[in-house]
Amino acid sequence: MIKPYNGKMPDIKNAAFIADNAVIIGDVTLKKGSSVWYGAVLRADSAKITIGEFSNVQDNCTVHCSTGFPTEIGDHVTIGHNAVIHGCKIEDNCLIGMHATVMNGAHIGADSIVGAGALVTENKEFEPGTLLIGVPAKAKAQLDNDAAAQNAENARHYYETAAEYKKEQAKPPAPKQI
């Protein structure tokens, strides 16, 4: 469901794939090659949400914002299943693990990983290439180039999968068997 809010319609023209039960409302921009998967909700009713090029928001994620806290997701970012992303900045080539939460004012540096289930609290900033784990999330290690390459591979895989889904959905439905 794609809906305007307060006179602003989501800009989805460059997305690679949007699942039919995803909800995208208000001042949302999906850049080239991005994808939004089943059950995800992107609700930009109090600030802007931007999803970068070739980034993916996986199943059942919530992406929201607050007044003064837009949500900016960079290029080649993977937002894992059931994550909550709220009024924060995630730089390029990051992986946000399943069930992770990133709160208002947080800033995740490029090439980082936020581990599954981690809670990045308000206004926390982390340098590029950081592994963040725990509740609250803390820097556990500096990542090497292999981890950054794997983050890029995750995003590429989702872009390719999105193209397959879009192609499959364009096919006419099979005739019903009697």
Residue 64 has φ and ψ, to the nearest 5°, of -140, -175
User: CA-to-CA distance for 9 and 29, rounded, in angstroms?
Assistant: 9
Run of H or E including 131: strand 130-133
Q: Which of 71, 66, 67 is nearest to 89 (CA)?
A: 71
Run of H or E including 139: strand 138-142
User: CA-to-CA distance for 8 and 152, rounded, in angstroms?
Assistant: 31
Question: Is 52 in contact with 75 (CB distance < 8 Å)?
Answer: yes
CA–centroid distance for 90 within its chain: 9
What is the pLDDT at residue 169? 82
Which structural domains are found in the chain, ordered by start?
A: 2-170 (2.160.10.10)
Return the structure tokens found at 94: 């990051």
Max alpha carbon distance in the chain (Å)?
60
Q: Indicate the range of 86-95, 103-112, 168-177 predicted with least confidence.
A: 168-177
Q: How far apart are the first and last CA of the chain?
A: 32
What DSSP string describes 24-90? EEEEEEE-TT-EE-TT-EEEEEEEEEEE-TT-EE-TT-EEE-BTTB-EEE-TT-EE-TT-EEES-EE
Question: Is 33 in contact with 16 (CB distance < 8 Å)?
Answer: yes
Return the structure tokens found at 21: 């039960």
> What's the whole-number mean pLDDT along residues 117-142?
98
Q: pLDDT-based confidence at 56, cuts 50/70/90?
A: very high
Q: What is the pTM of this model?
A: 0.94
What is the pLDDT at residue 86? 99
> Please, what is the average pLDDT of the chain?
96
